[in-house]
Structure 1
């Protein structure tokens, strides 16, 4: 758990804020193509929803609900599948978030995450004001021993914003800006 706290604090520091002109040309999946998934697919009881929110020009995804670890569950998420691969030289993703102050995660799935419970995870903070974060691929931790230590940009198939791992009320507004 200490590494999670260290990563969250590191992401909140000034170097974690994206700088103008720092991102490569890459268009994330359209908001309309993202899908909501909960632990109910495996018998859990978490409930929530994901919706497109905000005015034209500032649209984003909003993930809300109740995360419950009852019945071996504990997550709700909104996931976007990549239509085109990330640039091979990409070092990480740039996201914009605000929320209810709870900790959340970004999950990546790659060509190597073939089982439903496999993913790469990096913590992200949330607060009442929008913040733009750079999350390097080196900050992501594999969910199991069968995966590479660090995901390769060209292998990434999807990205998800996730409320995970403990009982709480989730309210996260999220936008994937691009890669750097």
Structure 2
């Protein structure tokens, strides 16, 4: 019985068992907005930290256009220390206009501007939690590892991407689990 108690205490105290809040959108907001216009695209939009239905959230809105070989808007946050060791995935609390959006991760190995790891998530009118395992992030090219390593992640982005549409997505919390 004593050994079982010690094991339980060790497991409960383990940092691998606890989720780590990466962003709760309390000030200051250190997110950077990007569009495809730097590459000749014509997508427009904006990102802001706002109170939405009583929750502080990042709100990404705009018009995504694939014209001129474009097709994205995004808000990105640097993670200079990477994700915590043992991270198995990213958890988001999201809502939006019912469209599919993406999380992009950049690592020390994503040297070129068009390199990233991408995973989709669906939005709706409520605020569900969405879990995205690191294994679900697809590399943008053959030169990248199959799965990003948590300690190698250098930024996270919320992205409207890949098709002509009106973007409206809000993210109220981001965690590493």
CA contact (8 A) 1:46 1:65 kept: yes
Counterpart residue number, 1:58: 55
User: Is residue 160 of structure 2 the alignment partner of residue 169 of structure 1?
Assistant: no
Counterpart residue number, 1:159: 156
Counterpart residue number, 1:85: 82
TM-score by length of 2: 0.84
**Counterpart mapping for 1:64-143 below 5 A:** 64-143=61-140
User: In angstroms, what is the RMSD of aligned CA positions?
Assistant: 1.8
- Work out the CA distance in 2 between the residues paired with 1:56 and 1:171: 15
User: Post-superposition, which runs of at least 4 consecutive aligned residues in structure 1 deviate over 4 A?
Assistant: none
Counterpart residue number, 2:41: 44
TM-score by length of 1: 0.83
Instruction: Please give the secondary structure, in 2, of the residue aligned with 1:41.
Output: helix
Please state which structure has a larger fraction of its residues in strand.
2
Cα gap change, 1:70/1:56 in structure 2, threshold over 3 Å: closer, same or farther? closer
Instruction: Please give the secondary structure, in 2, of the residue aligned with 1:71.
Output: helix
Deviations along 1:76-133, one digit per CA (max 9) or x if unpaired, are: 0011111422112110111111000111000000000000000000000000111111
Greater Rg over alpha carbons, structure: 2
Cα gap change, 1:23/1:124 in structure 2, threshold over 3 Å: closer, same or farther? farther
- Work out the CA distance in 1 between the residues paired with 2:52 and 2:170: 13
Unaligned runs of 5+ in 1: 1-21
- Work out the CA distance in 2 between the residues paired with 1:88 and 1:57: 32
Greater Cα offset, 36-45 or 23-32: 23-32
Instruction: Please give the secondary structure, in 2, of the residue aligned with 1:59.
Output: strand
Instruction: Please give the secondary structure, in 2, of the residue aligned with 1:109.
Output: strand
Unaligned runs of 5+ in 2: 1-16
Cα gap change, 1:137/1:169 in structure 2, threshold over 3 Å: closer, same or farther? same
CA contact (8 A) 1:67 1:163 kept: yes
- Work out the CA distance in 1 between the residues paired with 2:102 and 2:73: 11
Counterpart residue number, 1:25: 20
Instruction: Please give the secondary structure, in 2, of the residue aligned with 1:134.
Output: strand
- Work out the CA distance in 1 between the residues paired with 2:78 and 2:38: 18
